[in-house]
């Protein structure tokens, strides 16, 4: 974080300062800001966040041992550390992030990008960060830091020399994106897609679309909207963006400023031709792209990153060259594991109907003659009333793609298993197992050379760790 005095921080967040014996209001702090005492380093600022299962105030001592010199708290704690008492530490965190970004913007050339969408946020964020880091100091979220805590913590990692801040904005209810993006008013906003991820919290896909469009409304008045023209609900956001005076860049596989054709998916990566034509900005050109990341669905994420980079002044050829160095999108996202004999694709960090379908299609595409497809599937969470129907749909798709072994894990995914059986997969082709341990015991004996194995579920199902275990066992 940038250097601020204790007094300045207290004023920014509307809190009451209680300096430690060796501090006064003019004392300067500039360390890492975090809610996790284990992440503290010398000079750190600890956010004592109350939680569902524990309370951050209990860990102030551990934060001090890690090097924290300031704690933002909701009540005083006896430990010898400077403390600022506020009514709500999450509100205080947001206020601090807003002020820090505004100060760096006022004093330098910081550009802010906001990325949202039902799927692909983390991959696109990582793609774009890779492109931008060669242009200048770039800050992007760790993993999927995209909520009311993670997004401000990312913002607070900037320094006076940061050129690019890439923010990922997730939401499970209306108003959340507006609140988070409103802290920074991004110069470039990226709308990836509107799907059923978290649909239960929004009340349906149309409400989801309205929530995603909050990012358009929060953009800087002189900014750029990067829109997925393949998604009708995202393409419809163009009118709102133009009404606000935003420049619009479209991406996709149809008619768009940045589009892809000739997509080819193999076990070693995904290739296509990228066509770029932005009148008055980039001359028409066709460029080959060879991603090391698996899956056709990542092409649109790459196109979104290229379009956002163009909006920030990066040449398309440079953006593509940097994308080609990315080996995996993120841990537990289409992550190749195992060995030549048994290959594991661990994609179990999260799952929605769209991402589950895309992963199954990728499995089918990358499996060659004499090789066997194996799908290890868990539940998709936060789908609300659509959960049963969407699990049915994925079960039917797995059978219709001729996935040769389907291993369904967990009681919450049982309906997916029943759909598989109902569609005609039986006689051992599909099994239902109670948990990840049972699935591991089954798979370590079932898998054989030539198997190509997809592990896919929502985070809550815990199958990402099963994927890790299988990857290690068959490495």
When pLDDT is averaged across residues 395-399 and rounded to a whole number, the result is 95
**pLDDT tens digit sequence for 154-181:** 999 999 999 999 999 988 788 999 999 9
**pLDDT tens digit sequence for 232-291:** 999 999 999 999 999 999 999 999 999 999 999 998 899 999 999 987 777 899 999 999
Tokens linked to 249: 């860049």
When pLDDT is averaged across residues 112-133 and rounded to a whole number, the result is 96
Are 433 and 407 in contact by the 8 Å Cβ rule? The answer is: yes
**What DSSP state is assigned to residue 182?**
T
Quick check: 229 pLDDT over 90?
Answer: yes
Dihedral angle at the C-alpha atoms of 13, 18, 23, 27, nearest 10 degrees? 10
Quick check: 468 pLDDT over 60?
Answer: yes
Domain ranges of the chain: 4-86, 108-323, 335-473
CATH number for the domain running over 335-473: 3.90.190.20
Residues of each annotated binding site? 117-123
Q: Quick one: how far is CA 300 from the chain centroid?
A: 15
DSSP string, 55-85: BGGGGHHHHHHHT--EEEESS--SSSSEEEE
Residues of each annotated binding site for ATP? 117-123
The closest of 299, 310, 317 to 259, measured between CA atoms, is 299
Which pLDDT score, from 0 to 100, does residue 200 have? 54
Give all strands (DSSP E) within 155-211, no chain letters: 164-168, 188-191
Cα distance between the two ends of the chain: 40
Which pLDDT score, from 0 to 100, does residue 366 have? 93
| Residues with Cβ within 8 Å of residue 312, at least 6 apart in sequence | 111, 113, 132, 135, 164, 187, 188
DSSP SS3 for 159: coil
Sorting pLDDT into bands at 50, 70 and 90, what band is 77? very high
What CATH architecture applies to the domain 4-86?
Answer: 3-Layer(aba) Sandwich (3.40)
pTM for this predicted structure:
0.90
Sorting pLDDT into bands at 50, 70 and 90, what band is 145? confident
What CATH architecture applies to the domain 108-323?
Answer: 3-Layer(aba) Sandwich (3.40)
């Amino acid at each position: 974080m940038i250097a601020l005095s204790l007094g300045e921080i207290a004023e920014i967040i509307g809190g009451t300062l209680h300096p430690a014996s060796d501090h006064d209001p003019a004392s300067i702090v500039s360390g890492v800001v975090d809610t996790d005492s284990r992440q503290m380093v010398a000079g750190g600022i600890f956010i004592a966040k109350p939680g569902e299962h524990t309370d951050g105030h209990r860990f102030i001592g551990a934060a001090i041992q890690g090097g924290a010199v300031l704690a933002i708290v909701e009540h005083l704690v006896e430990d010898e550390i400077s403390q600022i008492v506020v009514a709500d530490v999450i509100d205080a965190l947001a206020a601090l992030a807003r002020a820090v970004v505004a100060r760096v913007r006022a004093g330098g050339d910081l550009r802010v990008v906001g990325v949202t969408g039902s799927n692909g946020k983390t991959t696109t964020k990582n793609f774009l960060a890779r492109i931008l880091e060669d242009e200048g100091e770039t800050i992007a979220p760790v993993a999927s830091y995209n909520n009311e805590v993670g997004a401000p913590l990312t913002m607070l990692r900037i320094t006076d020399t940061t050129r690019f801040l890439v923010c990922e904005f997730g939401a499970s209810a209306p108003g959340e994106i507006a609140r988070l993006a409103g802290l920074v008013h991004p110069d470039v906003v990226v709308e990836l897609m509107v799907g059923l991820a978290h649909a239960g919290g929004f009340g349906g896909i149309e409400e989801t679309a309205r929530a995603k469009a909050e990012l358009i409304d929060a953009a800087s008045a002189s900014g750029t909207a990067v829109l997925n023209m393949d998604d009708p609900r995202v393409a419809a956001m163009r009118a709102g963006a133009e009404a606000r005076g935003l420049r619009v860049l479209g991406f996709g596989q149809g008619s768009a400023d940045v589009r892809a054709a000739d997509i080819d998916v193999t076990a070693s990566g995904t290739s296509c031709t990228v066509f770029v034509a932005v009148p008055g900005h980039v001359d028409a050109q066709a460029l080959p792209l060879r991603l090391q990341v698996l899956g056709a669905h990542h092409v649109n994420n790459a196109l979104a990153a290229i379009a956002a980079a163009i909006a920030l002044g990066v040449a398309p050829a440079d953006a593509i060259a940097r994308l080609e160095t990315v080996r995996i999108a993120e841990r537990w996202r289409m992550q190749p594991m195992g060995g030549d004999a048994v290959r594991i694709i661990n994609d179990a960090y999260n799952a929605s109907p769209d991402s589950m379908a895309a992963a199954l299609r990728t499995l089918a595409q990358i499996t060659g003659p004499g090789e066997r497809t194996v799908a290890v599937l868990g539940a998709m969470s936060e789908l609300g009333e659509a959960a049963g129907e969407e699990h049915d749909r994925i079960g039917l798709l797995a059978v219709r793609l001729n996935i040769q072994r389907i291993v369904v894990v967990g009681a919450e995914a049982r309906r997916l298993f029943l759909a598989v059986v109902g569609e005609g997969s039986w006689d051992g082709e599909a099994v239902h197992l109670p948990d990840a341990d049972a699935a591991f015991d089954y798979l370590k004996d079932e898998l054989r050379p030539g198997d190509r194995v997809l592990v896919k579920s929502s985070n809550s199902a815990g199958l990402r760790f099963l994927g890790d275990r299988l990857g290690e066992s068959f490495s």
